[in-house]
Amino acid sequence: MNPKLDPRFFNFNTYRLTCLAVALGVSGALVACAEMPQAPARSAQLERIRNVVVIYAENHSFDNIYGLFPGANGIARATPEQKLQLDHDGIPLKELLVFGNDGRPDARFPAMPNAPFRIDAPPVNRAPTQIVPSPTHLFYNNQEQINGGKNNRFAALSAVGGWVMGHYDGSQFRLWQWAKDYTLADNFYMGAFGGSYLNHQYLVCACAPRFDSAPADMRAALDADGHLQKRPRSPSGNTGAVQIVNSGQVTPDGYSINTTQPPYQPSGIPPVASGARELANPAGNARGGHVDLPLPAQTSKTIGDTLSAKGVEWAWYSGGFQRALNDGMQDPAAARKVIYAGGPDSPNFQPHHQPFNYFAAYAPGTAARAQHLRDGTDFEQAIASGKLPVVSFYKPAGVNTQHPSYTDMVTGDGHIADLLDKLKASPQWQNMLVIVTYDENGGYWDHATPPTGPGWGDRWGPGTRIPALLIGPMVKKGFVDSTVYDTGSIIKLLTHRFGLEPLPGVREKIGDFTGALQ
């Protein structure tokens, strides 16, 4: 196809009008029109949707929560090769050891057989009300863990070792019942390899941010095979955690892939004392022996931009946003009490979970920011009053995300289930589709092989399989949907439903959730 006619770069309605005008005035134009792309057909199923709500939780693989779900592709379907974890030399680990912050075996956890195990059963016995270790979840680590779909290097490439093989009996969670009542997608993959930061970016733009000016010490150190360089005396997985030279926030060629702070508040980088309090200090923070610089403001097109271009009302709601904004705009010498801060009254706000706060189009002072970036309390008020916008993204505060290491499973499960109860009671429920999913796997093992090849995968992903629930009156009841989806399916759904300009990074062959609609 002529690249000038590539459907990724056009507003279809405008293009049709242009075609008609040319056809009326230029001979031979009908031939050109025949080559032109058409807007995605809107199925009758999609037409019924009037409101889409996306709830974005944190850091669990599908097998970690839903690996025991009846009828789903769970742990019982894993091959022996996928279950058995290998050391760096390709030899199976003797046993699974959990490593502590010092990289050595953690005495709080027993050695276990080299196989998946229950977190909430003997011998581990960690209740879902307890805070548990957080496995490594980084871009290059995730690729090596997947190991071409064998999924047998998770323990070897994680700072917590064998903890990655743990899973819960998910039937004790309230969201499990919602999955039973509606649709559970058991073939949904995180859009990008690695962690929360890049997957939040992928959620809104299906792209990786650029950071061309990143210094050398922010860039990953790779070997000749494109894998992370290990330190010469990095221990065996039988004795201690892997030691990486530099996992990197940025690829060697300038793409931002691991947690990097936003250029605007709320940010993990305070403002300049004598500068604009709305901005992060461009000189950055000293951290771990190097300076952590904020990401330059991004200009890629986002799903927010394409929705706005079509006049579709939307908002990104974030728990604790206003408190975090106030916290971030304090004097830089003041201790932060909300941003990356725990405590009984803190939402533990995570700035790198706020993707639109990285884009120039939503910079402080812009009309777009004031219109579209809102606090989580606004979300609950809009639910109760029946005034949700057509498209709502909701990011829970850190304490409600289920993220290991700083919150537990039950708190976030209850928070999200309560929101679903409120949505079901909303005046807008009858025409609503709710998508509950996770940003990424949190470094936890999953046995399913991510799709690869043209139209299925690319440099950025997809990564490990994660849970996704499709909920609403138009969704199939008691259904397990095995259509291949990834995070970009959310963009694809919105693009097809509202006739938006397609974003170029969305993978051609992934589904758009119509398989879950009745």
Q: What angle do CA 328, 379, 375 make, to 5 degrees?
A: 10
**Residue/partner pairs of 487-490 with CB below 8 Å, 24 or more apart:** 487/189, 487/190, 487/191, 487/192, 487/199, 487/202, 487/203, 487/206, 487/437, 487/439, 487/462, 488/191, 488/202, 488/206, 489/188, 489/513, 490/54, 490/203, 490/303, 490/435, 490/437
pLDDT of residue 16: 33
Give the separation between CA 51 and CA 265, rounded to whole angstroms.
29
Q: To 10 degrees, what angle do helices 174-181 and 409-424 make? A: 40
Across 412-425, average pLDDT: 98
pLDDT of residue 15: 31
* Phi–psi pair at 377, nearest 5 degrees: -65, -30
pLDDT of residue 285: 86
Beta bridge partners, 112, equal 96
Average pLDDT, the chain: 91
Q: Is the pLDDT of residue 398 over 50?
A: yes
Which of 37-41, 104-108, 226-230, 461-465 has the lowest average pLDDT?
Answer: 37-41
Q: Is the pLDDT of residue 500 over 80?
A: yes
Give the separation between CA 374 and CA 408, rounded to whole angstroms.
25
Beta bridge partners, 470, equal 183, 435
Give the separation between CA 459 and CA 311, rounded to whole angstroms.
32
pLDDT of residue 6: 33
Q: Is the pLDDT of residue 499 over 80?
A: yes
Q: How many helices (H) and strands (E) does the chain have?
A: 14, 14
Q: Is the pLDDT of residue 406 over 60?
A: yes
The secondary element (H helix, E strand) that includes residue 34 is helix 29-35
Contact 420, 53 (CB under 8 A): no
By CB atoms closer than 10 A (0-12, 13-18, 19+), residue 341 is middle
Q: Report which DSSP code applies to 345.
A: T
Beta bridge partners, 196, equal none
Give the separation between CA 253 and CA 214, rounded to whole angstroms.
10
Confidence grade of residue 47 (pLDDT, cut at 50, 70, 90): very high
Q: Is the pLDDT of residue 38 over 70?
A: no
* Phi–psi pair at 317, nearest 5 degrees: -100, 135
Across 301-307, average pLDDT: 98
pLDDT of residue 13: 35
Q: How many residues does the chain have?
A: 518
pLDDT of residue 42: 56
For the chain, give the percent of residues with pLDDT over 70: 92
Q: Is the pLDDT of residue 10 over 90?
A: no
Q: Alpha carbon 88 to chain centroid distance?
A: 28
3-state secondary structure 158-208: CCCEHHHHEECCHHHCHHHHHHHHCEEECCEECCCCCCHHHHHHHHHHCCC
Could you give all domains of the chain from N- to C-terminal order, each with its CATH number? Answer: 3-39 (no CATH), 45-68+168-516 (3.40.720)
